Amino acid sequence: MKVSDNGDGLFHGRLGDKIYYVVNGKQYVRLAPDKPDRYTPSEGQRRTNRRFKMTQQLYQFYKRRVSPDVWRTAARELGRRADNLFHSVNCQYIDGEGRMADPAHFQFSAGPLSLPRDIEVASLGGGRYRATWRDERDSATAAATDELRVGVLYDDELLEFNVASEVSGRRGDGGGEFRIDAERGTAHLYLYFARADGSAYSPPHHVHTATRGDCVQTDAHTPPSLSPP
């Protein structure tokens, strides 16, 4: 606050380390209390804050662009909140600048369903892909009617969640097909399965596409299923 003169020749306010005030028409002055030093976070704390903020924003984006049910369903099984579960699982894959640092290990989905064995993905050209797998089970964690889902992170924007189009295939079919945007180039694909009624999901099987002719090179990684604490 600046010192002001109300027309009576007396001053009111602060100047430097002194405070001027008036009581019963008399001028008084006292030393201002020391201001505590403002807290300045360290660079490590700023990086942690950026990671936290970006992961929270990603979860909100995921709910809008992919599904509000995947992480909510997984969290319910564990007695947790969906946003907290998403953060605890995926924050480690965001770097201190708020960028996707490790898309190969990013867990696009979560839940108690099992992934089929021997998942393979091959390019059919024009952005179309065929996935094949082996799975003869029909149990609580692997029903023949479980449906294939495919999440996509394009390399030109790794913080933008997308889903494949024209997805077909159930677990019992042993294979299915899907399409991504071929114009956007290489992408990280996350194949996972959903219970037909939407009550459960699986963790993802990761594939990175590097198209050369009609072939696709893959770098697959399957994160473990989440378990209750």
CATH number of the domain that residue 152 is part of: 2.60.40.10
Assess whether pLDDT exceeds 50 at residue 64.
yes
Q: Encoding tokens for residue 202?
A: 């699986």
**Do 183 and 143 lie in a common domain?**
yes
CB atoms within 10 A of CB 161: 19
Model pLDDT for residues 159-211, shown as the tens digit of each residue: 999 999 999 999 999 999 999 999 998 999 999 999 999 999 999 999 998 75
User: How many other C-beta atoms lie within 10 A of the C-beta of residue 43?
Assistant: 8
On whether both 167 and 194 belong to a single domain, the answer is yes
In this structure, the answer to whether residues 122 and 153 fall within a common structural domain is: yes
Report the mean per-residue pLDDT for the chain.
85
Judge whether residue 117 has pLDDT over 50.
yes
- Over residues 105-125, the mean pLDDT reads 93
CB atoms within 10 A of CB 103: 18
129 and 210, same domain (yes or no) = yes
Structural domain harbouring 10:
1-35
Total tally of structural domains belonging to the chain: 3
Q: What confidence score (pLDDT) does residue 171 get?
A: 96
Confidence band for 7, pLDDT divided at 50, 70 and 90: low
Give the residue-averaged pLDDT of 8-30: 74
The mean per-residue pLDDT over the stretch 65-74 comes to: 95
pLDDT above 90 for 132:
yes
